[in-house]
A and B are shown apart, each in its own frame.
Chain A
Amino acid sequence: MIDWFGVLEQVFANELNSIIAIGVLFVGLVAGYTVWRMASRMLQRMGIPELVEGTVFERTARGLGTSTVGILALMAALFVYAGALVIALSISRAINTQLFWAQVTGYFPSLFVAALALIVSLVIGDKAKLVVSERLRSVKLPEVGLIPELVKYSIFYVGGLVALGQLGVVTEALLILLGVYAFGIVLLGGFAFKDLLAAGAAGVYLVLTEPYSIGDEVRIDEHEGIVQEVDVFVTYIESDGEEYIVPNQLVLQSSIVRVRN
């Protein structure tokens, strides 16, 4: 890279250099514009506008007269402009401290990625919150309102961590915190969902092989009756006036008796 610039500088005279630099700037402008157009079209094709609909970031962007797609495309274009500017400046030797360039060119892409990570995490976090709260809409408990917020801030946290990591800020402590958090979720989730997972695994077997089906008379774990419904987690068995809802892992554990007369 540096040798290449050296060769360029030797071949061309100073005046020529500035002309070329202007040319590069011009090409950069055109390329930036093309990138901007293409990026916004591509993002729109990917259905990003529908995806980010209703998030705070999108609404803020709209308030500023642009949109998430617009901002992302603008960032890509700015990246190209800045790259062109860097090349042009180095050709015209306006500033040629090589150390400075090595640092800036190294730093610039990470800055770009960091900004991208921040935006993406803001959008995804908000969207995830919307989706989760939509799913939980029928549950009218005040405690449930905490879950979507938790999801949102978890995603923000990870996004912020990625951005900080890109910028080279020391993030070990934050990473450890994330690890503890994830470990806690997995551990507690494992405990909490133990029975559901067991029932689901047994249910998959029952649903696929159908050892008994709707209408059969069976005895499971002292409950005798007609099978009314088999789903992934539970089996509904009904006898006169009583309906037993048996978790599926219990069905496998206690074995099934099919009653035939």
Chain B
Amino acid sequence: MTAIGDLLDDLVADADAVFLFSPSGSLYESFADADEEVVVVAPDNAVKADQYVELPIEFTDLTERVRFGIEGAMEQDIVEEGEDIVCVVSVFGDDTDTIVRVRSGEFDRSGVYDLFVNSRAEPAVIRDVLEVAVELGKKGQKGKPVGALFVVGDAGKVMNKSRPLSYNPFEKSHVHVGDPIVNVMLKEFSRLDGAFVISDAGKIVSAYRYLEPSAEGVDIPKGLGARHMAAGAVTRDTNAVAIVLSESDALVRAFKGGELVLELDPEEY
């Protein structure tokens, strides 16, 4: 017992900040007089914490979740590089079961926080599109794996850097992502070739777009196909972000500024 207790003491000794991931009200209360800086990372600020990082999607992967929280806190200047952070997380259930100690500068910044918060499109819109892509990756279209490319934000510019492959099924319609029926529509239309264009506020502007940005200097991992290349290129040329569902490996990837910032496995959500 003492060995475990000592281990735990070592783990939390001299921490500069405590990150509470989706804490309950009583847990947050118990940290009210803590010497360390207390940061809450959760989908919504239910405990009304002063220092709060919004978690746009429930990362099941622990490292992704911790990474997002720390990147968010660094972006907001709550913590600085090289600080020791203790993360209190629940992984297997709703109760706290895991404590992670990490140094804030220990890993490369992936820009995943930046993707949600500092993009042109609203975070909720990006989250909704990600959810559609994940769901599509999980189930496929009628059981068959499909690929899809969503370009979110800066729609005016994207429309000018692309051309229609056929009639736009969303012309003169006013549909926004996040609506359950619209999500079904998006899945149905995913069998069409080309990209979906979605505006900053989440309006689906067009389907069936052939993107023609200049792909010069786009650096994405080798082995990814034309769809990913187009996604990377369009985000370099415009201020949009692109969310791609790969047809071959069924991973969801997000691009921003011509770079891959997020890779999710739909099966894990």
Contact A231 B201 (CB under 8 A): yes
For window 147-188 of chain B, which residues contact chain A by CB distance below 8 Å? 154-160, 171-172, 174
Contacts A226-B157, A228-B154, A238-B156 hold; do A214 and B172 have CB atoms under 8 A apart? no
Chain B 118-162 near chain A by CB (<8 Å), digits 1 or 0: 000000000000000000000000000000000000111111100
Contact B156 A226 (CB under 8 A): yes
Contacts A213-B205, A214-B199, A214-B203 hold; do A227 and B156 have CB atoms under 8 A apart? yes
B200 interface residue (CB < 8 Å to A):
yes
Contacts A214-B156, A215-B159, A215-B160 hold; do A228 and B172 have CB atoms under 8 A apart? no
Q: How far is the CA of A216 from the CA of B197 in the complex (A)?
A: 14
Q: How far is the CA of A138 from the CA of B201 in the complex (A)?
A: 19
* Inter-chain contacts of B201 with A (CB < 8 A): 229, 231
Chain B interface size band reads 10 to 19
Contacts A228-B200, A229-B199, A231-B201 hold; do A215 and B156 have CB atoms under 8 A apart? yes
* Inter-chain contacts of A228 with B (CB < 8 A): 154-157, 199-200
* From A213, A215, A217, A229, residue with most partner B Cβ within 10 Å: A215
Residue of A nearest to B160 (CB): A215
For window 199-256 of chain A, which residues contact chain B by CB distance below 8 Å? 207, 210, 213-217, 225-229, 231, 236, 238
Residue of B nearest to A209 (CB): B172
Residue of B nearest to A210 (CB): B172
Chain B nearest CB, measured from A50 CB (Å) = 20
Chain A nearest CB, measured from B120 CB (Å) = 9
Q: How far is the CA of A228 from the CA of B155 in the complex (A)?
A: 6
* Inter-chain contacts of B158 with A (CB < 8 A): 215
Q: How far is the CA of A236 from the CA of B201 in the complex (A)?
A: 11
Residue of B nearest to A237 (CB): B156
* Inter-chain contacts of A238 with B (CB < 8 A): 156-157
Q: How far is the CA of A84 from the CA of B171 in the complex (A)?
A: 67
* Inter-chain contacts of B172 with A (CB < 8 A): 210, 213
Identify B203's interface contact among A216, A225, A226, A229, CB under 8 A: A229
Chain A nearest CB, measured from B195 CB (Å) = 13
Chain A nearest CB, measured from B18 CB (Å) = 26
Chain B nearest CB, measured from A240 CB (Å) = 11
* Inter-chain contacts of A215 with B (CB < 8 A): 155-156, 158-160, 205
Chain A nearest CB, measured from B177 CB (Å) = 14
Chain A 38-54 near chain B by CB (<8 Å), digits 1 or 0: 00000000000000000
Q: How far is the CA of A231 from the CA of B200 in the complex (A)?
A: 11
Contact A214 B155 (CB under 8 A): yes
Chain A nearest CB, measured from B179 CB (Å) = 16
For window 78-113 of chain A, which residues contact chain B by CB distance below 8 Å? none
* Inter-chain contacts of B154 with A (CB < 8 A): 228
Q: How far is the CA of A216 from the CA of B160 in the complex (A)?
A: 8
Chain B nearest CB, measured from A207 CB (Å) = 6
* Inter-chain contacts of B159 with A (CB < 8 A): 214-215, 226
Residue of A nearest to B158 (CB): A215
Contact B205 A214 (CB under 8 A): yes
Chain B nearest CB, measured from A60 CB (Å) = 25
Residue of A nearest to B154 (CB): A228
Residue of A nearest to B155 (CB): A214
Q: How far is the CA of A206 from the CA of B35 in the complex (A)?
A: 56
Q: How far is the CA of A236 from the CA of B158 in the complex (A)?
A: 15
* Inter-chain contacts of A227 with B (CB < 8 A): 156
* Inter-chain contacts of B197 with A (CB < 8 A): 214
Chain B 189-232 near chain A by CB (<8 Å), digits 1 or 0: 00000000101110101000000000000000000000000000
Residue of B nearest to A226 (CB): B156
Chain B nearest CB, measured from A218 CB (Å) = 10
Identify B155's interface contact among A207, A210, A229, CB under 8 A: A229
Q: How far is the CA of A197 from the CA of B222 in the complex (A)?
A: 54
* Inter-chain contacts of B203 with A (CB < 8 A): 214, 229
* Inter-chain contacts of B156 with A (CB < 8 A): 214-216, 225-229, 238
Contact A207 B200 (CB under 8 A): no
Q: How far is the CA of A216 from the CA of B205 in the complex (A)?
A: 12
Q: How far is the CA of A37 from the CA of B43 in the complex (A)?
A: 43
Q: How far is the CA of A238 from the CA of B199 in the complex (A)?
A: 13
Chain B nearest CB, measured from A239 CB (Å) = 10
What 7 new A-B contacts, CB under 8 Å, besides A210-B172, A213-B205?
A207-B174, A214-B156, A214-B203, A215-B156, A228-B154, A228-B157, A229-B200
Offer 18 A-B interface pairs, CB within 8 angstroms, sorted by A: A207-B174, A213-B172, A213-B205, A214-B203, A214-B205, A215-B155, A217-B160, A225-B156, A226-B157, A226-B159, A228-B154, A228-B155, A228-B157, A229-B156, A229-B200, A236-B200, A238-B156, A238-B157
Which 7 residue pairs across A and B have the least CB separation, nearest first? A215-B159, A226-B156, A228-B156, A214-B205, A214-B155, A215-B156, A229-B199
Q: Which residues of B contact A (CB under 8 A)?
A: 154-160, 171-172, 174, 197, 199-201, 203, 205
